[in-house]
């Protein structure tokens, strides 16, 4: 290869215009975040009238399908080098293998990962705070097992310990960040189990003592060690 | 003539003077009738026992287009796809009859919950592939307004099948069928074959003695929570307008039509007109007039088919071919092993027939063993035999995973396989002689993982007349008469 290996960092900002719409969408689908009063009136009406119920179901289906369409459109952008934004640079550098991808905050989903998995020389992948990355997506990452050295999954709301179990294929992984995963039930224990599963990897995440409570002797020692000056 | 009129019990006004002379013969009957009429009038008046509007809310409706016998995952899946694929919203009235609303003996909820694409028949692989796609997008398929999204708790850890020397060639052939080259859509199972050395390197806790080849599913395989799928289907199906009935099917009322084939053979075609549904803990029953009946009763499908008269005829004829589905009891044991396999452990299936998988984070494992024909336990009840674990399951487990030599059984339960004694694969589609009866049963332990796809296939046959997306012709009922086995080699 004539050109030197430049580590390409492809960042998400081009797609940020689309993501806020999708984040708003997930809020609409999730009932906890919406205003209470409007929701109870609609619910009341939907329970009593078939027409209101049918209209609400239709709107829900439309919303659910919209997320899928937006993701597909975005993925085509990623693949085609003659899209908008970074088009010129991408065209010149298309022979250069991609080494690092930063997809933080990007609304990438299961189908969208097809594009990342095609990058066979990928060494560093950051999927921080991606709202649609879940356990199913993690099960696809085994295709990057030969090259991936660094993976960050911090802050993804849908990843649980069941998805982390399929990271054992990534034996070349040296750095794994699994901090701040709200769906993991027992972060301390999960950290220990993941460390056992990937012995060569440095796992950043929850402190293993996070879920532990202080024993009775330690508690009294604590209060004794900080005396209030009399 | 007057005497005749008296005997007929006409009103007293006509008798007039003659009443006194004809007292003996007719007055006792007449008195009784008067008191009956008085009682009736008293009950009609307010305060009496009779009410013109009886409460029949516990009974199923009198008419229904489709009656689905059995409310487990297969029955609900058929109901879902019927409502989804119907041409006009609300066109088809569906009734699901379920005998036990707690699902205490249903195979769905007692199942280990695994899903895999490692089968030998291409139809089974396609069914599993669609089902896994359904489960992955379950919140798009089963979204209900105002209800929280479903969390299936899917563990994508895969299945690991181990084969001994004899089984190695079969396994290699199976993997060729599973991989993408056999499918036009470039989709297939992502399975990798491993030698004993590779296996030892990947999973150091396995003892590879006696293993010649292993096939490991990398994606779209694992296990999930079947109760969650069942509840998700139930609430979606109820929101789509399917009626549920808590009762038991006791009788089918049908009519026969004697016809001749083109070659002159006499054939009796039957059509079911009514299904009698008996209410729980009562003798009350409701005859439901229906157009189509679907049997999705799991382990009890054989009994329901007998009620419908399937198999009543001289043996060796199509009329005399029974539905060969019977309940088989299988035990599942939950044990704790502190030094056991780690988080990466897939569902391991030993060549001896024993299998196990992890459960949760706390080093607990679930597993079991399919007994041979001679060792089959009595399916009369769901009592667990703990000696079975000691004698049959533990030796195989300890041999395969040395860490399992020290373990402690925490819990155990038993469930039924709706076992197809003919070829251990499902029975799907119409019956050749009973023209309006369809089957969706007999999956012998892999029904849960194929339920979404099978539901769609049965709905397609009912609405369009033929299979459209996945061709399940090898699974039709007629194969029992023709003797064509659709044998599945990868059965756990």
DSSP state of A158: B
CA atoms A189, A194, A199, A204: torsion sign: negative
Q: Residue A31 is nearest to which of B146, B153, B154, comparing CB atoms? A: B146
User: What pLDDT was estimated at residue B449?
Assistant: 94
Q: Which residues of chain B have a CB within 8 Å of the CB of A60?
A: 143, 145
Average pLDDT over residues B24-48: 79
Count contacts between A and B (CB, < 8 Å). Answer: 77
Question: Is the Cβ of A168 closer than 8 Å to some Cβ of chain B?
Answer: yes
Strand ranges in chain A using DSSP code E only, listed in sequence order? 9-10, 100-102, 124-126, 150-152, 175-177, 202-204
> Taking all residues of chain B, what is their mean pLDDT, rounded to a whole number?
89
Domain ranges for chain A? 49-71+79-96, 97-209
Coil, helix or strand for B291?
strand
Who has greater pLDDT, A162 or B1? A162
Check: CB of residue B115 under 8 Å from CB of residue B224. Answer: yes
**Cross-chain CB nearest to B146 (options A43, A142, A193):** A43
Give me A103's structure tokens: 């997809």
CB A138 within 8 A of CB A170: no
Q: What pLDDT does B177 receive?
A: 83
Contacts of B134 in chain A (CB under 8 A): none
* CB nearest to B155's CB, from A31, A61, A162: A162
Which DSSP category does B393 fall into?
Answer: I
Is 0.95 surpassed by the pTM of this model? no
Q: Which residues of A touch B148 (CB under 8 A)?
A: 31
- Alpha-carbon distance A147 to nearest alpha carbon in chain B (angstroms): 17
The angle subtended at Cα A31 by Cα A27 and Cα A33, nearest 5°, is 55
Question: What distance lies between CA A70 and its chain's CA centroid?
Answer: 17
For residue range B99-123, list pLDDT tens digits in order.
999 999 999 999 999 999 999 899 9
Query: Using a CB-CB distance cutoff of 8 angstroms, which residues of chain A are in contact with residue B139?
Result: 64
Asked if A168 and B343 come within 8 Å (Cβ–Cβ), the reply is yes
According to DSSP, residue B375 is labeled G
B458 and B438 in contact (C-beta within 8 Å)?
Answer: yes
Mean pLDDT of B376-400: 92
Query: Tell me, what's the pLDDT at B170?
Result: 87
Q: A residues 38-97 near B, CB within 8 Å?
A: 39, 43, 46, 53-54, 56-57, 60-61, 64-65, 68
Report pLDDT for B481.
Answer: 93
Which of A136, A167, A176, A190 to probe the B interface (max B CBs under 10 A)? Answer: A136
Quick check: B95 pLDDT over 60? yes
> Is the CB of residue A158 less than 8 Å from the CB of residue A185?
no
Q: Is the confidence at residue B313, as pLDDT, over 80?
A: yes
Q: Would you say B218 and A142 are in contact if contact means Cβ atoms under 8 Å apart?
A: yes
How far apart are the C-alpha atoms of B146 and A30, rounded to whole Å? 9
> What is the full per-residue pLDDT of chain A (230 aa) written as tens digits?
443 444 444 444 333 333 343 343 433 344 444 456 667 888 888 778 878 878 888 888 777 666 544 333 333 334 333 334 444 455 555 666 777 888 888 888 888 888 888 888 888 888 999 999 999 999 999 999 988 999 999 999 999 999 999 999 999 999 999 988 999 988 888 999 999 999 999 999 876 666 566 666 655 554 554 444 44
Least confident of B32-36, B48-52, B150-154: B48-52
B53 touches chain A (CB under 8 A): no
- What does each C-alpha distance from B13 to A27, A100, B32, B40, B387 come to in angstroms? 81, 107, 18, 21, 84
8 Å CB contact between B307 and B251:
yes
Q: What is the pLDDT of residues B330-356, one digit of tens each?
A: 999 999 999 999 999 999 999 988 999
pLDDT digits (tens, 9 = 90+) for B421-435: 999 999 999 999 999
Q: Is the pLDDT of residue B48 over 50?
A: yes
Alpha-carbon gap, residue A154 to A131, rounded angstroms = 11
| Residue B280 pLDDT > 90 | no
Contact B220 A189 (CB under 8 A): no
Superfamily of A97-209 according to CATH: Ribonuclease Inhibitor (3.80.10.10)
Average pLDDT over every residue of B58-63: 89
Q: pLDDT tens across B357-370, in order?
A: 999 899 999 999 98
With contacts defined as CB-CB under 8 Å, which chain B residues touch A160?
153
Over residues B81-100, the mean pLDDT reads 94
User: H-type helices in B45-121, by residue range?
Assistant: 73-85, 107-110
Q: Which chain A positions have a beta carbon within 8 Å of B149's beta carbon?
A: 29-30
B73-107: string of b/e by CB count within 10 Å (b at 16+)? Answer: bbbbbbbbbbbeebeeeeebbbbbbbbeeebebbb
Residue B126 has pLDDT above 60, yes or no: yes
CB atoms B219 and A140 under 8 Å: yes
Whether residues B157 and A165 touch (CB distance < 8 A) is answered with yes
Q: Which of A25, A30, A113, A139 to mutate to test the interface with B (most CBs of B within 10 A)?
A: A139
Q: How far apart are CA B294 and CA B429, in angstroms?
A: 9
Closest among B487, B76, B82 to B244, alpha carbons compared: B76
Q: How confident is the model at residue B5 (pLDDT cuts 50, 70, 90)?
A: very low
Which residue of B156, B187, B199 is the best one to mutate when testing the A interface, meaning the one whose CB has the most A CBs within 10 A? B156
Quickly state the pLDDT bin for B187 (edges 50, 70, 90): low
Instruction: Check CB contact of A142 with chain B, cutoff 8 Å.
Output: yes
Name which of B136, B153, B157 is nearest A110 (Cβ-Cβ): B136
CA distance A197 to chain B (A): 7
- Portion 146-165 of A in contact with B at CB < 8 A: 160-165
Which pLDDT tens digit goes with each residue over A182-229? 999 888 889 999 999 999 999 998 766 665 666 666 555 545 544 444
């Amino acid at each position: 290869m004539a050109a030197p290996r430049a580590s390409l960092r492809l960042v998400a900002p081009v797609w940020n215009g689309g993501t806020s719409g999708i984040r708003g969408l997930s809020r609409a689908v999730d009932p906890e975040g919406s205003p209470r009063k409007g929701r109870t009136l609609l619910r009341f009406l939907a329970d009593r009238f078939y027409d209101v119920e049918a209209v609400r179901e239709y709107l829900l289906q439309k919303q659910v399908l919209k997320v899928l369409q937006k993701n597909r459109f975005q993925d085509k952008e990623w693949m085609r080098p003659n899209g908008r934004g970074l088009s010129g640079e991408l065209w010149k550098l298309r022979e250069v293998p991609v080494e690092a991808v930063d997809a933080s905050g990007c609304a990438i989903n299961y189908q969208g990962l097809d594009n990342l998995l095609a990058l066979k020389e990928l060494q560093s992948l950051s999927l921080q705070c991606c709202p649609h990355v879940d356990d199913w997506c993690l099960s696809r990452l085994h295709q990057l097992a030969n090259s991936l050295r660094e993976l960050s999954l911090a802050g993804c709301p849908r990843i649980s310990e069941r998805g982390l179990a399929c990271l054992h294929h990534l034996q070349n992984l040296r750095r794994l960040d699994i901090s701040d995963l709200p769906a993991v039930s027992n972060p301390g224990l999960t950290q220990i189990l993941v460390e056992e599963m990937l012995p060569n990897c440095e796992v950043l995440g929850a402190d293993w003592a996070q879920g532990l409570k202080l024993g009775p002797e330690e508690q009294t020692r604590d209060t004794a060690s900080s005396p209030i000056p009399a | 003539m007057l005497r005749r009129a008296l005997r007929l019990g006409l009103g007293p006004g006509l008798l007039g003077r003659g009443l006194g002379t004809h007292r003996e013969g007719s007055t006792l009957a007449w008195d009784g009738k008067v008191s009956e009429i008085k009682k009736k009038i008293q009950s009609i008046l307010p305060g009496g026992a009779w009410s013109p509007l009886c409460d029949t809310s516990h009974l199923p409706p009198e008419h229904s287009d489709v009656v689905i016998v059995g409310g487990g995952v297969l029955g609900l899946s058929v109901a879902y796809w019927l409502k989804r694929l119907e041409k006009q919203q609300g066109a088809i009235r569906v009734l699901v009859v379920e005998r036990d609303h707690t699902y205490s003996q249903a195979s769905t909820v007692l199942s280990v919950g695994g899903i895999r694409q490692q089968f030998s028949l291409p139809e089974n692989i396609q069914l599993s592939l669609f089902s896994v796609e359904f489960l992955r997008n379950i919140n798009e398929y089963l979204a209900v307004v105002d209800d929280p999204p479903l969390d299936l708790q899917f563990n994508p850890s895969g299945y690991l099948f181990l084969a001994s020397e004899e089984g190695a060639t079969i396994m290699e052939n199976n993997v060729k069928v599973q991989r993408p080259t056999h499918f036009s859509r470039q989709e297939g199972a992502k399975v990798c074959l491993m030698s004993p050395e590779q296996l030892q390197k990947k999973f150091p806790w396995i003892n590879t003695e006696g293993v010649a080849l292993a096939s490991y599913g990398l994606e779209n395989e694992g296990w999930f929570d079947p109760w969650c799928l069942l509840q998700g289907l139930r609430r979606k199906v109820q929101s789509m307008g399917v009626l549920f009935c808590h009762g038991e099917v006791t009788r089918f009322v049908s009519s026969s039509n004697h016809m001749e084939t083109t070659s002159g053979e006499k054939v009796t075609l039957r059509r079911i007109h009514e299904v009698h549904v008996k209410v729980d803990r009562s003798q009350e029953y409701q005859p439901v007039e229906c157009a189509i009946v679907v049997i999705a009763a799991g382990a009890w499908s054989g009994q329901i088919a007998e009620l419908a008269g399937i198999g009543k005829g001289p043996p060796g004829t199509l009329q005399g071919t029974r539905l060969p589905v019977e309940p088989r009891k299988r035990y599942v044991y939950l044990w704790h092993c502190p030094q056991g396999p780690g988080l990466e452990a897939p569902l391991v299936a030993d060549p001896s027939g024993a299998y196990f998988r992890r459960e949760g984070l706390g080093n607990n494992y679930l597993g079991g063993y399919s007994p041979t024909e001679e060792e089959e336990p009595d399916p009369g009840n769901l009592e667990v035999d703990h000696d079975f674990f000691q004698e049959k399951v533990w030796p195989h487990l300890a041999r395969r995973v040395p860490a399992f030599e020290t373990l402690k059984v925490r819990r155990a339960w038993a469930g039924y396989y709706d076992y197809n004694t003919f070829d251990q694969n499902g029975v799907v589609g119409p019956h050749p002689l009973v023209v309006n009866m369809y089957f969706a049963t007999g999956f012998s332990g892999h029904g849960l993982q194929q339920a979404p796809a099978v539901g769609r296939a049965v709905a397609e046959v009912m609405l369009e007349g033929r299979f459209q997306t996945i061709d399940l012709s090898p699974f039709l009922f007629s194969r029992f008469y023709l003797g064509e086995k659709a044998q599945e080699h990868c059965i756990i």
